[in-house]
A and B are shown apart, each in its own frame.
Chain A
Amino acid sequence: MMNCLHPLTLQQRRLFLQQCAGGLGGTALIHMLQSESQANIPNELTHALQPKMAHFAPKAKNVIFLFMAGAPSQLDLFDPKPKMRELHGQPLPASFLTDLDDALLKGSAQVFSSPRSFTRHGQCGMDFSDYLPHLAQRADDLCMIRTMFTDVSNHHPAQLLMNCGIPRFGAPSMGAWVTYGLGNPSHNLPGFVVMLSNSTGTGDLGGTALWDNAFLPPIYRGVTFRSTGEPILFLSNPRGINSTTQRARLSAIRDLNQLRHRVTEDPEINARVSAYELAFRMQSAAPELIDFSDETEHTLNSYGVNDETTRWFGSNCLLARRMVERGVRFVQLYHYTWDDHADLNKNLKRNCSMTDQPAAALIQDLKQRGLLEDTLVVWGGEFGRTPMHEVRRINAAGREGRDHHPFSFTMLLAGAGIKTGQIIGQTDELGYHGIEDKVHVHDLQATLLHLLGLDHTQLTYRFQGRDFRLTDIGGKIVSNILA
């Protein structure tokens, strides 16, 4: 077949590979150019998804990012502040307000002591509130960062910053960067999968921009999966088309597309061919992926798949494990109803009860199966919540909420290459600012890439005359996170 089709011109190919290999050092590039003469049907985009060499030996191969959009309250889950009890109901001490310019800070806000009770867990003695009993049991498998901080205090920009490295539209998502840098070991499933929680229509989710490829080739864009019914829309063949006729259809489409490519040399045609081939493989791989019949009852129960409250997030967590088993590089789950401006007690409890057990089960299950050695699990949102109560809503006692807080929040890490059973960073007596070991979003991103064997300053893509990277112009590796 190859003989009758012109491959890319050498120059196009070299340019493409330079882009795709983007900073992977010369080795991968040379390897690919050498194998050019034996290149088979796979066009450059199949190459684009082929597993690539990292910059250095990786600790982690896969990532499961449990993104808690809306911003969970760190002060009611992870970071106990006894001092707040003394100051409860009083205005914030003036020392906290100097040099701050943030739209969401109100002079009238009063300190709101957490109504939660905290206990230390595990051998390491990590604090968790009573709302997270399951994750608490995994304390020794976790690294807790209490001093995360970000640059923006609105959901969408902050979600973009956490996922794409800049607080605006137009940059590729971390999942896209990682798949671009490392390729996709799964032959039959996309390299970057996104799953959304059931939100009953509420919630704060920035939408597809959070898993966009932006200027990276579109093959790196996150593909959304559903956890019930057809995992992907239009996955099944229509009536009257079986797998033989489907395959024949695809072959004809591929050949005709490639004939056209000879005329126009439009690289998008090759991307289209790859997309079709992947679509076909997904048709057989995806149903098997979402079929839980080979899971034990014990496993299903541990994820809460059979329980109304946990079913949705639990199914997604279990799917995440099954994807990682099948080689999917980057799985991102979105649970997006954490924005508790009011009724924190009630709403936080609901969100925790939906996610706590499944998230803990995921970590335990990965560990038990030896998958945690290669998999990095991240838990957290776009920012934290204020030590003061919300002033934008009426705050009846017992119905208080907290506002957005970019200056300090907590994230959890588990798995490959992480030094677990430790807490990184310390916040001040009100949990307002980090006072030691502060970790910027870009630092976390740099560290995650590092664990994957990628140098965040080298993983670049040239666009509009500039080399872009996930960490923009920042990012330093947080070495005390590393095992």
Chain B
Amino acid sequence: MYHRLLILMLSAFFAVPGSSFSQNKALPQHWSFIRPVKSPQPEVDLSEWLENPIDSFVLASLERLQITPSTRADPITLIRRLSLDLTGLPPDPQHVQSFISDQRPDAYERLVDRLLASPHYGERWARPWLDLCHYADSDGYLTDQLRPYAWRHRQWVVNALNQDMPFDQFTVEQLAGDQLPHSRTDQKIATGFLRHTLSNREGGADLEEFRVKQTLDRTRMVGDIWLGLTIGCAQCHDHKYDPLTQKDFFQLYSFFNNADEININAPLPGEEGPHAVQRVRYLKKRHEILAPIERDLITLQDRWEKKMLYAAHNPGKDHRWDRQWELLGLIWGGGLGEGQLEGVEIVKVPRANRTTLQNERLQDYFLNHGSLVDPKEFSRLELGEHASNLQQARKDLPSMARAPTLKTAQNQRPNYIHLRGEFRSPGMAIKPNIPAIFSVSLNSDSPTRLDLARWLVSPENPITARVLVNRMWQEFFGQGLVDTPEDFGMRGNPPSHGKLLDWLAVDLVQGGWAVKRLHKIIVMSATYRQSSKTREDLLEQDPGNRLLARQTSMRLSAETIRDSALKASGLLSNRIGGPSVFPPQPDRVNMEAFGSNPWPVSEGENRYRRGLYTFLLRTSPYAPFTIFDAPNPNQTCARRNRSNTPLQALTLLNDEVFLEAARHLAARIIRESDDGLQARITLGFRLCLAREPSKEESRRLTSYFMEQVRIFNSDPQASSILSLPGNTTTESDTFAAWVGVSSVLLNLHEFITRE
């Protein structure tokens, strides 16, 4: 403890505001910049407690302070903990039963393997990853238009995690999938990772300003997610605490400065064939429609393009054309989540150098929006009419799913330092490069995103594996070994178990960046399997449980709470993937967003999909999730809050979603057990908490149930409201009382907690 304190004090001392870098450089290097090594596992007394190397490190530090680890959690707690941690869902009663009756010595490991292989594993682990890249289904800012294909990247993440894609490949495909040789569609979809930046389509928005903001966001993501460094601090000036200069920042920025947003055709199964057939017909029709005026059309469009480019290079000369230029960047692909600057970039490329599709799309834009160039000629050629004829012809084209990705810019932008962080104040010209502190030289004159991605997951990078291991650890223990997961720099806190962190980091890389393997090592440890029970002897010595002498009870995440309620009641859809859905929420929530995007409540199975698939509108995220600490979808979140408020109580008590779950849970309890009151209460407990009730708990619920039957018996109207349409077997007062019991179970602290 004292050692740790000392480190804290020392790091606070050395991080005095205003200290310059030359001073920093004179210091011994900060721990996270030194390459990790596997230390030998320390000797311990209580060696029979050890399950794997994790435990040696943990136990050694406990023994130094004469603390004993906690006892192992009971099997029911373990299977519930494991199920929630690995799949984000509570276990089915039959799985609990078979686990506790499994006497084989490797029963626990078998359970771990089964859960790691579950298709729900990818769904559970996608969520924290999407928090990092701040996934959402809309543009953000004032207009907050929808992005109907944002989910393609989410789907890719779920699949990649389920297939246990090694983290190095996972990194490379998401940062530079489009730059891989012979890049496949799925690799380009992966790069949709970088497309969750916000788009401003509000009139008056400066196109370059918001492109720069997106690029800054991407740059900061590399810092937050892979380097665990607050590099954003070095945007306006050299970093105050960490050895990162403003030049470092903009060199990193330069990797992304020439990545253009585009959407690509990314057909879903079954779409491609029919589309291709119709597309041939459409092109023929298009030719028929435009052929009679083709020459004049091209001449006119060329004039329009010239005017547009002139306005782009001479702002302030003619405000009408300034506005036309701006509009091209604001409305291109709006509501479809397309890259908004794609049109602007196409105009800059000479016609002959464009692809057929680029020419086609720009021509369509011109036909719809180009009349300013010469209104008379525009109407003489009847271009408006042609535009609507083309639109009519397109109606026969079957749908073809798109996907957001990036591509290397055709028109390369110069890279320079933004003086004081201001993009209008160009400073020194620079090239893309890795921050100097890492002392690497890339073997290229013009390094690419692909080079950056490959370096991030190369053994030369001392920090990324640690940052990843730490975030994973946080999911299993409630806090990271470094409890500032987004900051491994001088201002971050030092690790509680530095050698353990390093051992795991090195082991991860040696194991080929296999994430499931890492998860398995963690959950197989004795440390993980401890009871989370509060220990009086630790309260004073280690109230924050940094020493890991016990597991930690954690309130479940927003999505997991809802998923658990749906699962217990039998409503949860098992379908994996697909577009986002709209579970019910109060109308008012959505009304508060300026864009007033509709919230068409989903019907049928889509009402009961996992929370991961809930439509995420940036200006107005799904309210029950916000109440349970789902993060702001506009910025990277490396650790969620776990608050405990009256608003959460009101949500679980009164939200339609949870009451609906209670009604279905009641029906399920009645349906699946006809053995009387006690058996039904026991089933309710098993469905919600995996365990059986104690005598006292059973007694309390029984008296509650009897009281409710009495009340509802005298209130048939309330009973019938709570009943389900299909309920014919049970008296409605009894049914309503079971709804009450079910609701009580879904509101228990234990239900929304993983112990």
Residue ranges of A at the interface with B (Cβ–Cβ < 8 Å): 9, 11-12, 15, 101, 103-104, 190, 200-202, 207-208, 212-213, 218-219, 221, 223-224, 226, 229-230, 232-242, 244-246, 248-253, 255-257, 259-260, 263-269, 271-273, 275-276, 278-280, 282-283, 392, 394, 464-466
- Whether the pair B644, A219 counts as a contact (CB closer than 8 A) is yes
- Cross-chain pairs A/B with CB under 8 angstroms, 18 sampled: A200-B594, A212-B641, A223-B647, A229-B588, A232-B647, A233-B647, A234-B624, A238-B656, A238-B659, A239-B721, A240-B719, A241-B659, A250-B653, A259-B694, A264-B533, A268-B553, A268-B644, A279-B646
The answer for the CA separation of A208 and B643 in the assembled complex, in Å, is 12
The answer for the CA separation of A221 and B647 in the assembled complex, in Å, is 11
Known: A219-B644, A240-B721, A241-B659. 19 other contacts (CB 8 A): A9-B536, A11-B536, A12-B534, A103-B420, A190-B646, A201-B595, A223-B647, A224-B647, A233-B588, A233-B589, A248-B708, A253-B744, A253-B748, A260-B749, A268-B555, A279-B647, A279-B649, A283-B650, A464-B483
Determine if B92 is an interface residue (Cβ-Cβ < 8 Å). Answer: no
Determine if B734 is an interface residue (Cβ-Cβ < 8 Å). Answer: no
- Whether the pair B420, A252 counts as a contact (CB closer than 8 A) is no
- Whether the pair B424, A392 counts as a contact (CB closer than 8 A) is yes
- Chain B 667-691 interface mask (CB, 8 Å, partner A; 1/0): 0000000000000000000000000
The answer for the CA separation of A272 and B628 in the assembled complex, in Å, is 13
Given A103-B237, A242-B718, A234:B704 Cβ within 8 A: no
Count of B interface residues, CB-CB < 8 Å: 76
Which residues on A sit within 8 Å (CB–CB) of B183? none
Determine if B619 is an interface residue (Cβ-Cβ < 8 Å). Answer: yes
Give the distance to chain A from B151, nearest Cβ to Cβ, in Å. Answer: 24
Determine if B586 is an interface residue (Cβ-Cβ < 8 Å). Answer: yes
Which residues on A sit within 8 Å (CB–CB) of B627? 233
Among A241, A251, A255, find the residue whose CB has the most chain B CB atoms closer than 10 A.
A241
- Chain B 708-748 interface mask (CB, 8 Å, partner A; 1/0): 10011001001101100000000000001001100110011
The answer for the CA separation of A372 and B696 in the assembled complex, in Å, is 51
Which residues on B sit within 8 Å (CB–CB) of A104? 420
Which residues on B sit within 8 Å (CB–CB) of A240? 659, 718-719, 721-722, 736, 739
Give the distance to chain A from B205, nearest Cβ to Cβ, in Å. Answer: 12
Closest B residue, CB atoms, query A208:
B632
Give the distance to chain B from A48, nearest Cβ to Cβ, in Å. Answer: 12
Determine if B236 is an interface residue (Cβ-Cβ < 8 Å). Answer: yes
Among B421, B649, B743, find the residue whose CB has the most chain A CB atoms closer than 10 A.
B649
The answer for the CA separation of A249 and B748 in the assembled complex, in Å, is 11
The answer for the CA separation of A173 and B64 in the assembled complex, in Å, is 38
- Whether the pair A465, B533 counts as a contact (CB closer than 8 A) is no
- Chain B 1-41 interface mask (CB, 8 Å, partner A; 1/0): 00011001000000000000000000000000000000000
Which residues on B sit within 8 Å (CB–CB) of A233? 586, 588-589, 623-624, 627, 647, 650-651
Residue ranges of B at the interface with A (Cβ–Cβ < 8 Å): 4-5, 8, 142, 144, 236-237, 316, 420-422, 424, 483, 493, 532-534, 536, 539-540, 543-544, 553, 555, 586, 588-589, 593-595, 619, 623-624, 627, 632, 641, 643-651, 653-656, 659, 694, 696-697, 700-701, 704, 707-708, 711-712, 715, 718-719, 721-722, 736, 739-740, 743-744, 747-750, 753, 755
The answer for the CA separation of A263 and B748 in the assembled complex, in Å, is 14
- Whether the pair B707, A248 counts as a contact (CB closer than 8 A) is yes
Given A218-B644, A252-B704, A256-B700, A279:B594 Cβ within 8 A: no
Which residues on B sit within 8 Å (CB–CB) of A101? 237
Given A233-B586, A233-B650, A238-B654, A218:B718 Cβ within 8 A: no
Which residues on A sit within 8 Å (CB–CB) of B594? 200-202
Give the distance to chain B from A448, nearest Cβ to Cβ, in Å. Answer: 24
- Whether the pair A272, B749 counts as a contact (CB closer than 8 A) is yes
Closest A residue, CB atoms, query B419:
A103
- Whether the pair A218, B645 counts as a contact (CB closer than 8 A) is yes
**What 3 pairs across the A-B complex have the smallest Cβ distances?**
A201-B594, A240-B721, A279-B649
- Whether the pair B534, A11 counts as a contact (CB closer than 8 A) is no
User: Which of A246, A266, A466 lies in contact with B534, CB distance below 8 A?
Assistant: A266
The answer for the CA separation of A124 and B655 in the assembled complex, in Å, is 54
Given A103-B421, A230-B588, A253-B744, A265:B533 Cβ within 8 A: yes
User: Which of B659, B697, B711 lies in contact with A244, CB distance below 8 A?
Assistant: B711
User: Which of B650, B694, B718, B749 lies in contact with A234, CB distance below 8 A?
Assistant: B650
- Whether the pair A275, B5 counts as a contact (CB closer than 8 A) is no
Which residues on B sit within 8 Å (CB–CB) of A221? 643, 645
The answer for the CA separation of A238 and B663 in the assembled complex, in Å, is 12
User: Which of A190, A207, A264, A283 lies in contact with B553, CB distance below 8 A?
Assistant: A264
- Whether the pair B653, A275 counts as a contact (CB closer than 8 A) is no
User: Which of A246, A248, A259, A269 lies in contact with B704, CB distance below 8 A?
Assistant: A248
Closest B residue, CB atoms, query A190:
B646
- Whether the pair A278, B700 counts as a contact (CB closer than 8 A) is no
Given A234-B655, A245-B711, A256:B697 Cβ within 8 A: yes
Which residues on B sit within 8 Å (CB–CB) of A265? 533-534, 536
The answer for the CA separation of A480 and B755 in the assembled complex, in Å, is 53
Which residues on A sit within 8 Å (CB–CB) of B493? 464
Give the distance to chain A from B490, nearest Cβ to Cβ, in Å. Answer: 14
User: Which of B421, B593, B711 lies in contact with A248, CB distance below 8 A?
Assistant: B711
Closest B residue, CB atoms, query A169:
B486
Given A239-B721, A252-B701, A223:B645 Cβ within 8 A: yes
- Whether the pair B646, A245 counts as a contact (CB closer than 8 A) is no
The answer for the CA separation of A252 and B421 in the assembled complex, in Å, is 57
- Whether the pair B654, A12 counts as a contact (CB closer than 8 A) is no
Which residues on A sit within 8 Å (CB–CB) of B316? 394
The answer for the CA separation of A230 and B619 in the assembled complex, in Å, is 20
Closest A residue, CB atoms, query B715:
A242
